[in-house]
């Protein structure tokens, strides 16, 4: 937008966008024009004028949103001498808002002003300034302003930098008394206004969430005591109570950072414990919302004290620290009748058990054991299905089924504390008493469900309880509830380790007979197939004699209406067994099980046109069959390196059919992706035995990639290089392989780099970047010398230097891996016969591109990459220093020197001392982690 549009033109565009009678094309045109206007430098003045005129809701909303967006993304456009006038203008706009103003507009303006305050270094103690305007701004807007101010400190888009954030945190710590005083005033002077109460508690929580305050600063705050009073009371709305709970929880979250103040901790523990009475009242009144809030508080207190109760109990002569009492309140909640309350506590139990597992102290484990015993008791009760429930629990749609799965995961994690055998024995005792007491089916089913969660932890030589449980399952009457039978089938699958033990091999046949019976029942087919998969995989040696029976099952598998993922699991199990059968039967077995997937695929190829759209997750979808074939190929295994191996022969014979399928679906990226996954397993399976697939696959991938830029073709290329690049001792065969592979990447280069050279090409095609540089990595790893001599290398290196700034996890990782492998291939390796020649090539490359590479790496680290991506940068820099440390340090100095020392507001990003400290870290460091921390800290100065 070259010239500033008139305000009338802006109103016309707003009207066109929001008017219901405007045709869609005009609406889109107006939207595009307004987007361009918002990006222009004129948007500041236009937004200010729209807010001043207050013509209608739509124009005010657009203006407020524009102001917020500009302050968030384009603050650099403003000269420093305009900051104060913009602040005054925004405060003036806020002062004119009233109760009739749309809340979204007020929020946008508050966020905009917060962004200004955070970036405007000359506005000192902004929070105190805002709080002092109690009489000129409406209370609700002051509270919202003070709430969003700390919330926006860590906004990455603002790029405040570590120095500015440190300054803000110090300022906030100093300003907290003034903010607290204002909140106390609001709660006192407007005590009957629930909206003010809620906003006051939210503001208080927001200031605590930045973790820049100490416990002593706020523990005696009247705001906190007011929140506790609200929670102790049975009056007031649930919204006020929830806001008060949020404030208390925000305070409790600071306990973990201030865990050495026993006196305050005792007071806090006592204050929270007093809420138990209110909790019990909420249970009596069946007020679930309040119950949930109390449970959140109890759980947060316990979680904040986890390390305190563990560490201080360790050094207390076997006596638990007083903080362990926090678990009593959590256990109280665990026994609530609603499972949603118990669910809130799960993260605490996961974390506590993880810490106990890491410490592995018997005395400490015994200390916490009673709490976990009570927890498992509560889980058992909550896992009971309603006795009136008809049919199976629907795992896909029922929240309760999902809850039970989470219970199962939790039990698996914590059972080591109370002993798997003890829990199994306890559940068995309950089953045993079922015939002589009033135990109902739901109680027995819950016991079986707990058993299946821990079944894999049972020792294989256990001979007392498990045989009786298995026998009871196999002898269940026909009339047993469907959920009982479902869970018992699941339990048999989880007992696969126990079944596979030589001592219990006699149980395999009756168990298989039982599972085959269950497989014929529609409601049980899916879970039975899963259990069969587990048993096939674990008991593969014993299952060989049952292979023919399993193949017969595969013949009717599609009549069982199994979900495809379950059928795939069954196929995996059968494929694993095929690897164990005698060699003379392998060919026929593979042709049988693969043919049942390949033949329907070929039928689809012949019967459908390119315009036919398959129905997802049905047998009309090629993916349905490709995924099954992938599962088989992935779990098959060859027994020799001979190309006459029956498995190899059977697989190579499949290629013509696979080629036909690949060509038929070349225009469909979804199907092609799944086809390439299938092809990957096919190549991996036979590559060590024959090179028969290399030429046809490489040529077809190269040809198809020129037509259709599916990045998975590049991925198959990398699989070919990995498998055929350095696997053969025969020099003639190796040379033949290398020529084919180099021809393939040469064919890939032109279409791939045509995509990369588009505007934002690297950013728009991250999958292609990822797969292409994975392919380049494989070349360096498997045939370094031929690749270093290849004319394609230079253009790949230049592209990689540009791509280091790509903020895409997988794509960037592949680019960095390529650069790292390139540098490493010049190092001495035991298996390298061309070491000196490789090193000369790599040294020449480093001298040519080193300075630009280091410059781009530092720029990317500071302005583009996520913190977790920085270790890859360090790996590359370290390898550069291995070639020439003096030169690399000189390049680093130059790269740091080019970084801006001030931001647009005139605030210092990184001081000279901080830059020097960062550079010095490269002169002497003990390990890679030290350099990673240094780069991470340095990058924060600019973020």
pLDDT tens digits for range 752-783 = 999 999 999 999 999 999 999 999 999 999 99
High-pLDDT (> 70) share of the chain, %: 97
Residue 514 has pLDDT above 90, yes or no: yes
Smallest Cα–Cα separation from 866: which of 812, 819, 930?
A: 812
**Can you tell me the distance from the alpha carbon of 649 to that of 590, in angstroms, rounded to the nearest whole number?**
10
**More confident site: 734 or 904:** 734
Residue 302 has pLDDT above 60, yes or no: yes
* Arithmetic mean of pLDDT over the chain: 91
Q: If pLDDT is split at 50, 70 and 90, which confidence band does 436 have?
A: low
Predicted model pTM: 0.87
**Can you tell me the distance from the alpha carbon of 306 to that of 364, in angstroms, rounded to the nearest whole number?**
13
Do 50 and 89 meet the contact criterion of CB atoms below 8 Å apart? no
Smallest Cα–Cα separation from 330: which of 314, 346, 319?
A: 346
**Can you tell me the distance from the alpha carbon of 148 to that of 165, in angstroms, rounded to the nearest whole number?**
15
**Can you tell me the distance from the alpha carbon of 288 to that of 242, in angstroms, rounded to the nearest whole number?**
12
Q: If pLDDT is split at 50, 70 and 90, which confidence band does 930 have?
A: very high
Tens of pLDDT, residue by residue over 360-405, are: 999 999 999 999 999 999 999 999 998 888 888 876 567 899 999 9
Q: 506: which strand partners? A: none
How high is the pLDDT of residue 649?
94
Mean pLDDT along residues 471-485: 91
Tens of pLDDT, residue by residue over 319-354, are: 899 999 999 999 999 999 999 999 999 999 999 999
Q: Is 557 left (phi over 0), alpha (psi -120 to 50) or beta?
A: alpha
**More confident site: 436 or 870:** 870
Smallest Cα–Cα separation from 820: which of 775, 766, 879, 736?
A: 879
Q: If pLDDT is split at 50, 70 and 90, which confidence band does 829 have?
A: low
Q: Which of 116-125, 311-320, 460-469, 717-726 has the lowest mean pLDDT?
A: 311-320
How high is the pLDDT of residue 639?
79
Smallest Cα–Cα separation from 311: which of 359, 366, 349?
A: 359
Smallest Cα–Cα separation from 754: which of 802, 706, 718?
A: 706
How high is the pLDDT of residue 643?
86
**Can you tell me the distance from the alpha carbon of 74 to that of 158, in angstroms, rounded to the nearest whole number?**
9
Q: If pLDDT is split at 50, 70 and 90, which confidence band does 610 have?
A: low
Q: If pLDDT is split at 50, 70 and 90, which confidence band does 916 have?
A: very high
Q: 902: which strand partners? A: 908
How high is the pLDDT of residue 445?
94
SS (H, E, C) 96-109: CCCCCCCHHHHHHH
Residue written as token pair 């550079």: 919
Contacts of 240 (CB under 8 A, 6+ apart): 194, 197, 198, 201, 230
Contacts of 69 (CB under 8 A, 6+ apart): 38
| 908 phi and psi angles, rounded to 5 deg | -70, 130
Q: If pLDDT is split at 50, 70 and 90, which confidence band does 437 have?
A: low
Alpha helices in 158-193 (DSSP H): 162-189
How high is the pLDDT of residue 833?
57
Query: Could you give the 3-state DSSP secondary structure of residue 908?
Result: strand
Tens of pLDDT, residue by residue over 227-283, are: 999 999 988 899 999 999 999 999 999 888 766 678 888 999 999 999 999 999 999
How high is the pLDDT of residue 162?
92
Query: Could you give the 3-state DSSP secondary structure of residue 914?
Result: helix
How high is the pLDDT of residue 419?
92
**Can you tell me the distance from the alpha carbon of 535 to that of 526, in angstroms, rounded to the nearest whole number?**
15
Tens of pLDDT, residue by residue over 536-549, are: 989 888 888 888 88
**Can you tell me the distance from the alpha carbon of 399 to that of 462, in angstroms, rounded to the nearest whole number?**
35
How high is the pLDDT of residue 396?
56
How high is the pLDDT of residue 808?
94
Task: Give kind and range of the element (H or E) at residue 483.
Answer: helix 482-494
Smallest Cα–Cα separation from 428: which of 464, 374, 480, 481?
A: 464
How high is the pLDDT of residue 351?
96
Contacts of 757 (CB under 8 A, 6+ apart): none
Look at the chain and count its residues: 943
Do 769 and 709 meet the contact criterion of CB atoms below 8 Å apart? no
Q: If pLDDT is split at 50, 70 and 90, which confidence band does 1 have?
A: low
How high is the pLDDT of residue 263?
84
How high is the pLDDT of residue 789?
92
Tens of pLDDT, residue by residue over 864-893, are: 999 999 999 999 999 999 989 999 999 999
Tens of pLDDT, residue by residue over 71-115, are: 999 998 999 989 999 999 999 999 988 888 888 999 999 999 999
């Amino acid at each position: 937008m070259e010239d500033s549009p008139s305000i009338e033109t802006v109103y016309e565009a707003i009207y066109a966008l929001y008017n219901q009678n405007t045709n869609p094309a005009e609406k889109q045109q107006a939207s595009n024009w307004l987007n361009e206007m918002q990006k222009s430098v004129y948007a500041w003045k236009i937004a200010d004028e729209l807010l001043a005129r207050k013509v209608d809701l739509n124009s005010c909303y657009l203006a407020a949103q524009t102001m917020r967006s500009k302050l968030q993304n384009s603050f650099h456009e403003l000269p420093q001498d305009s900051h104060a006038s913009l602040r005054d203008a925004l405060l003036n706009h806020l002062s004119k808002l009233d109760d009739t103003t749309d809340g979204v507009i007020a929020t946008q303006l508050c966020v905009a002003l917060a962004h200004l305050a955070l970036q405007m270094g000359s506005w000192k103690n902004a929070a105190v300034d805002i709080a002092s305007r109690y009489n000129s701004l409406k209370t609700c807007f002051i509270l919202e302003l003070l709430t969003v101010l700390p919330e926006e400190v860590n906004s990455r888009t603002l790029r405040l930098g570590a120095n500015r954030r440190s300054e803000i945190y110090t300022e906030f710590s100093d300003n907290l008394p003034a903010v607290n005083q204002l909140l106390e005033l609001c709660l006192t002077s407007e005590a009957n206004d629930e909206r003010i109460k809620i906003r006051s508690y939210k503001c208080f929580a927001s200031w605590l969430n930045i973790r820049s305050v100490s416990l002593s600063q706020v523990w005696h705050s009247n705001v906190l005591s007011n929140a506790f009073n609200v929670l102790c009371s049975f009056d007031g709305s649930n919204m006020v109570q929830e806001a008060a709970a949020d404030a208390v929880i925000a305070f409790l979250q600071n306990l973990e950072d201030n865990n050495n103040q026993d006196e305050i901790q005792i007071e806090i523990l006592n204050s929270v414990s007093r809420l138990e009475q209110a909790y019990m009242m909420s249970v009596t009144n069946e007020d679930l919302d309040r119950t949930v809030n109390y449970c959140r508080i109890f759980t947060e207190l316990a979680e904040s004290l986890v390390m305190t109760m563990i560490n201080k109990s360790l050094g207390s002569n076997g006596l638990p620290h007083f903080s362990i009492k926090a678990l009593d309140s959590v256990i109280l909640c665990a026994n609530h009748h609603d499972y949603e309350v118990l669910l809130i506590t799960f993260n605490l139990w996961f974390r506590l058990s993880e810490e106990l597992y890491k410490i592995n102290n018997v005395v400490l484990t015994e200390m916490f054991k009673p709490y976990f015993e009570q927890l498992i008791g509560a889980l058992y009760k909550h896992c009971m299905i309603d006795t009136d429930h008809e049919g199976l629990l629907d795992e896909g749609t029922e929240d309760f089924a999902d809850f039970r799965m989470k219970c199962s995961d939790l039990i698996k994690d914590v059972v080591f504390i109370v002993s798997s055998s003890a829990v199994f024995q306890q559940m068995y005792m309950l089953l045993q008493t079922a015939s002589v007491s009033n135990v109902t089916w739901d109680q027995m089913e819950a016991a079986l469900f707990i058993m299946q969660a821990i079944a894999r932890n049972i020792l294989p030589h256990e001979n007392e309880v498990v045989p009786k449980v298995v026998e009871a399952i196999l002898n269940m009457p026909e009339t047993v509830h469907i959920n009982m039978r479902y869970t018992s089938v699941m339990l048999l699958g989880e007992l696969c380790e126990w079944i596979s033990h030589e001592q219990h091999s006699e149980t395999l046949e009756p168990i298989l007979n039982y599972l085959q019976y269950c497989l014929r029942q529609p409601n049980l087919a899916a879970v039975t197939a899963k259990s069969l998969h587990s048993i096939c995989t674990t008991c593969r040696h014993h299952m060989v004699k049952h292979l023919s029976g399993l193949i017969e099952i595969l013949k009717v598998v599609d009549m069982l209406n199994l979900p495809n993922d379950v059928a795939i699991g069954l196929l995996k199990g059968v494929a694993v067994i095929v690897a164990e059968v005698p060699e003379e039967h392998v060919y026929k077995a593979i042709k049988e099980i693969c043919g049942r997937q390949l033949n329907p695929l070929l039928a689809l190829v012949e019967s459908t046109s390119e315009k036919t759209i398959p129905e997802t997750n049905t047998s009309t979808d090629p993916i349905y069959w490709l995924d099954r074939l992938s599962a088989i190929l992935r779990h098959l295994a060859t027994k020799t390196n001979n190309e006459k191996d029956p498995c190899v022969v059977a697989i190579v014979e499949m290629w013509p059919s696979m080629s036909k399928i690949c060509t038929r679906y070349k225009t469909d990226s979804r199907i092609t992706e799944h086809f390439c996954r299938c092809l990957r397993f096919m190549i991996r399976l036979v590559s060590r035995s024959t090179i028969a697939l290399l030429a046809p696959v490489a040529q077809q991938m190269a040809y198809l990639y020129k037509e259709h830029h599916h990045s998975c073709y590049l991925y198959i290329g990398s699989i070919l290089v990995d498998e055929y690049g350095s696997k053969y001792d025969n020099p003639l065969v190796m040379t033949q392989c290398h020529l084919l592979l180099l021809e393939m990447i040469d064919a890939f280069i032109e279409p791939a780099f045509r995509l990369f050279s588009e505007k934002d090409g690297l950013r728009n095609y991250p999958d292609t970047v990822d797969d292409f540089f994975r392919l380049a990595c494989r070349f360096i790893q498997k045939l370094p010398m031929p690749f270093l001599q290849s004319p394609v290398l230079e253009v790949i290196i230049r592209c990689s230097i540009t791509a280091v700034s790509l903020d895409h996890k997988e794509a960037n990782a592949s680019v960095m891996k390529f650069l790292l492998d390139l540098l490493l291939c010049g190092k001495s390796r035991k298996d390298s016969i061309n070491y000196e020649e490789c090193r000369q090539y790599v040294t020449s490359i480093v001298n040519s591109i080193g300075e630009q590479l280091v410059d781009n790496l530092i720029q990317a680290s500071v302005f583009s990459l996520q913190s977790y991506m920085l270790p890859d940068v360090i790996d590359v820099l370290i390898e550069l220093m291995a070639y020439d440390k003096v030169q690399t340090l000189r390049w680093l100095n130059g790269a740091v020197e080019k970084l801006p020392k001030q931001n647009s507001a005139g605030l210092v990003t990184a001081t000279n001392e901080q830059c020097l400290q960062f550079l010095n870290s490269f002169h002497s460091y003990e390990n890679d982690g030290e350099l990673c921390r240094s780069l991470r800290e340095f990058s924060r100065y600019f973020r």
